[in-house]
Chains A and B, each alone.
Chain A
Amino acid sequence: MERFAQLLDRLIYTRSRNDKIALVAAYLRDTPDPDRGWALAALTSGLDFPAVKASTIRDVVATRVDPLLYSLSRDFVGDTAETASLIWPRLPTGEPPPTVSEAVEIMAGMSRSTVMAQLARLLDRLEPDGRFALLKLATGAMRIGLSGRLARTAFAQAFGLDVEQVEEHWHGLRPPYADLFAWATSPEGAAPAIDPLAFKPFMLAHPLEEAQLDLAEFAVEWKWDGIRIQLVGDGNVTRLFSRGGEEISGAFPEIAAAYPIRAVMDGELLVRGDVQGGEAASFNALQQRLGRKKVTGAMMADYPAFVRLYDLLVEEDEDLRSLPWTERRARLERAVAQLPPERFDLSQIIAAQDWATLVQLREDARSQAYEGLMFKRRESAYMAGRKVGHWYKWKRQPLTADCVLMYAQRGSGKRSSYYSDYTFGCWTAPPEQGGELLPVGKAYFGFTDEELKWLDGFIRRHTANRFGPVREVEKTLVLEVAFDSIHLSRRHKSGLAMRFPRIARIRSDKPAEEANLIVDLMALVS
């Protein structure tokens, strides 16, 4: 448990993705089975121990600590597990600290009547960092920004494997992943059997730089502005996965319920609406449904979800991924007939003979709220990851607005001495008529290293106020901001939220009074 506690602690203070991967990889290499398997499960999906709840932790602490001292401490620390780990008055037990597997085993065996005594006994065997790790493990709330994808990348790096190969074998396996570690660590270890009806790594597209593909070899589709998902059904249970392999079934029960077939399909999750060719709503509407563990009937009625299908990867127990796209497409067209049309339909192929038409369609994508166009090589197999030459995405041109820099904040890591996070605003009315600036967005990329240095210097020379780490800047600098789309939002005072904003250009040539008005941005809302 101490080694795991140390890993957890270091992950909390590490920001860089590569450093996180290296830390997890080193842990996986150095830790014996089955500890590393349980740790991996805890770091990603979270293990569930029904007997241990956040309230249980409070109750256990109350058996040893004065309630007011606990509550004053909890207010200061801000996290129940951390407060408990720090405040716990340890009674020596003479027992060594538990291993991760022992702790998992004990916690899995706890019932409501034994949990208080057993949890206290485990806490007595550990130092503060170990207690913190144990309580985070127990409640399944790690919150350390470690995605399943990152964990699998670390696993691949630890044992010199290809990450897509790891993805291929990973899904469908259960903690503590004994087969997976046996395969990765011993030369004679056989690769675990691939469950055909489990999550498959997504095939991704490259951005298309120039309009120069042989159109005879490519099929063209709309790039729908929803979220890419994979449907995995075994005839009984259907699961929905996001691109990173995270399960999101809970947020879309009506989709899972309408998919009774044994098949794996790739598609775009959308909400009904009247943009995107009059068929789907904007991404903003879909956002109302995202990030929820549970969903109400009202949400489902107000934002009815459906899936526009792109591809068929597995049918019954037959893996179709090595077939060319044309054959998979033909089978998808047949298979979709088994599914209710209000929840599932096909992403139509755009019959365009020449680039002139496609260029026009891409131009129209903005007004129609499509995200752009997709090009798929007709002969392409379905390959994990982003392979060159097979699939291309051709996004619509970004929108731009001239905004005024208002606030800046320092970055982290290598950027910790630079003001690299910028909040910018637009005018409520022309400034000569008494208009004011209201923030419309925040961006921390899009600029070059040289531009960053320049901006940092500008901010230091033109600071109007300091609020902790934030500097208010004299409102004189115009930034041309590019963004994919803009939406109404109640969270911001301006009533607007930009999607994917970035700094396109520094417009030190332009007076701040000539920056855009809020109403200009309102006209771009989709």
Chain B
Amino acid sequence: MSSAPGWLRPERHGIYLPGTDCWIDPSIPVARALVTHGHSDHARGGHGHVIATGPTLSIMALRYGEQPSADRIDYGDTIELGDGTNATFLPAGHVLGSAQILLERQGERVVVTGDYKRRPDPTCAPFEPVACDVLITEATFGLPVFVHPPIGQELDKLLAALAERPDRCVLVGAYALGKAQRIIAELRARGFSDTIYLHGAMERMCALYEAHGVPLGPLALVADATLDDLRGRIVICPPSALSDRWTRRLPDPLQAFASGWMRVRQRGVQRGIELPLVISDHADWEELTGTIVELAPQETWITHGREDALVHWCGWSASPNCSIV
């Protein structure tokens, strides 16, 4: 880490820029936070001042209430943080409003990817690759066994399962922010126009997406439907509700789970999943390694995920200076 810039450093609670007293995605309340996206392991409540994209601020407002003080920043816009440091927010392709943060100081360029993916997603702007000296990347799926199949293949499985069981419903466990809306939007893009039923926890986030210009077609709440309404329908709920008592109001639900982890069979079997859908909003192994090769940073820092394999890979390929932070 000889050439590592001294003006930012990894800490237990996030990435810290001492000269500006700014944090990126801090997990504890701080005075000034730059937030890459709205998932709760990145966006927390209680900060003094938040800098994030408009949709991310809306999501945080929905989850934690309105921020007392915030800078709304659009993709491509740059904000001065002080100490000669500038931050530019660029699309990360992860969920609505998700951003990478490009930090520049005295000619040095650092990119914090946040969570990202390189595949098209109708609910958010695509990842924008940007050259940098230091790349701080996620590594959630940092093992070569994780290669996400095309989403179309997985949705075909979902629609086939639905057609096969007209008396039952297919219950899809999907994260309430991002995954659920992406699945709905991708189904609509395939011409699926039936009403899709939602667990109550999904309702406001879906409305937020629509308010930000992501049409999701006809949606209804399970709470407002009868058992017979739900036969032959797709129902979406948070993963935690898949085997909850709530499911007893559904007609013999077939349990599906949309997650990158479903690539490994035992992960699904252990959870009692009947229909695994390998759908992820994170970069898979090929995207992670391909992005490092493409951006060719002098250094790569790996934040959270399965780092060991990616560090090892960097060692004998593109980017020799690679470390876990």
Contact = CB atoms under 8 A, between A and B. Distances in A.
B272 A69 contact: no
A12 B268 CA distance: 10
A86 B269 contact: no
B175 interface: no
Nearest to B274: A13
B264 interface: yes
Interface stretch (A275-283, A412-420, A514-522): A412-420
Interface stretch (B36-44, B131-139, B179-187, B247-255): B247-255
A9 B273 CA distance: 12
Interface string A69-107: 100110011110011001100000000000000000000
Contacts of A76: 143, 145, 264, 306
B265 interface: yes
Contacts of B274: 13-15
Nearest to B309: A72
Interface centre among A12, A13, A66 (most CB of B within 10 A): A13
A79 B312 contact: no
B265 A410 contact: no
Interface in B137-155: 143-147
A68 interface: yes
Contact of A82 (B144, B146, B265, B316): B265
A86 B275 CA distance: 18
A68 B312 contact: yes
A285 interface: no
B243 A417 contact: yes
Contacts of B273: 13
Interface in A34-90: 65-66, 68-69, 72-73, 76-79, 82-83, 86-87
A79 B266 contact: yes
B143 A13 contact: no
A78 B308 CA distance: 17
Interface string B272-314: 1111100000000000000000000000000000101100110
Contacts of B244: 417
A175 to B, nearest CB: 26
Given A69-B309, A87-B144, A87-B145, A78 B255 contact: no
B266 A73 contact: no
Given A79-B266, A412-B272, A86 B243 contact: no
B263 interface: yes
A69 B144 contact: yes
Contacts of B12: none
Contacts of A73: 143-145, 309
Interface residues of B, number: 31
A135 B247 CA distance: 37
A79 B273 CA distance: 19
Contacts of A14: 274
Contacts of B308: 72
Contacts of B143: 69, 72-73, 76
A86 B145 contact: yes
A86 B265 CA distance: 11
B266 A416 contact: no
A413 B253 CA distance: 9
Interface string B31-66: 000000000000000000000000000000000000
B145 A417 contact: no
A417 B264 contact: no
Nearest to A410: B243
Contacts, number: 74
Contacts of B255: 416
Contacts of A12: 265, 269
Interface in A6-23: 9, 12-15
Nearest to A68: B312
Contacts of B309: 68-69, 72-73
Nearest to B256: A13
Nearest to B312: A68
A413 to B, nearest CB: 8
Contacts of A77: 145, 264, 266
A126 to B, nearest CB: 14
A77 B252 CA distance: 30
A414 B252 contact: yes
Contacts of B146: 86
B263 A13 contact: no
A410 B244 CA distance: 10
A65 B144 CA distance: 9
B147 A86 contact: yes
B63 to A, nearest CB: 24
Contacts of B264: 76-78, 82, 86
A66 B316 contact: yes
A13 B247 contact: no
A56 B308 CA distance: 26
Contact of A416 (B268, B272, B306): B272
A83 B146 CA distance: 10
A12 B269 CA distance: 8
A417 B247 contact: yes
A417 B240 CA distance: 11
A414 B246 CA distance: 13
Nearest to A13: B274
A13 B276 contact: yes
A20 to B, nearest CB: 12
Contacts of B313: 66, 69
Contacts of B266: 77-79, 82
Interface centre among A9, A15, A73, A413 (most CB of B within 10 A): A73
A86 B316 CA distance: 22
Contacts of B252: 414
Nearest to B272: A412
A86 B312 contact: no
B82 to A, nearest CB: 41
A73 B146 CA distance: 9
Nearest to A74: B145
Interface centre among A12, A15, A128, A417 (most CB of B within 10 A): A417
A417 B268 contact: no
B269 A13 contact: yes
Interface string A174-195: 0000000000000000000000
Contacts of A128: 147
Contact of A13 (B144, B242, B268, B306): B268
Contacts of A79: 265-266
A128 B255 CA distance: 23
Contacts of B145: 73, 76-77, 83, 86-87
B246 to A, nearest CB: 8
Contacts of A68: 309, 312
A520 B265 CA distance: 44
Interface of A: 9, 12-15, 65-66, 68-69, 72-73, 76-79, 82-83, 86-87, 128, 410, 412-414, 416-417, 460
21 contacts: A12-B269, A13-B268, A13-B274, A66-B316, A72-B308, A73-B143, A73-B144, A73-B309, A76-B145, A78-B264, A78-B266, A82-B266, A86-B147, A410-B243, A410-B272, A413-B272, A414-B252, A416-B242, A416-B247, A417-B246, A460-B245
Given A69-B143, A78-B266, 8 more contacts: A13-B269, A15-B274, A73-B145, A76-B306, A86-B145, A87-B144, A414-B252, A417-B243
Pairs A-B, 5 closest by C-beta atoms:
A86-B145, A416-B243, A73-B145, A412-B272, A72-B309
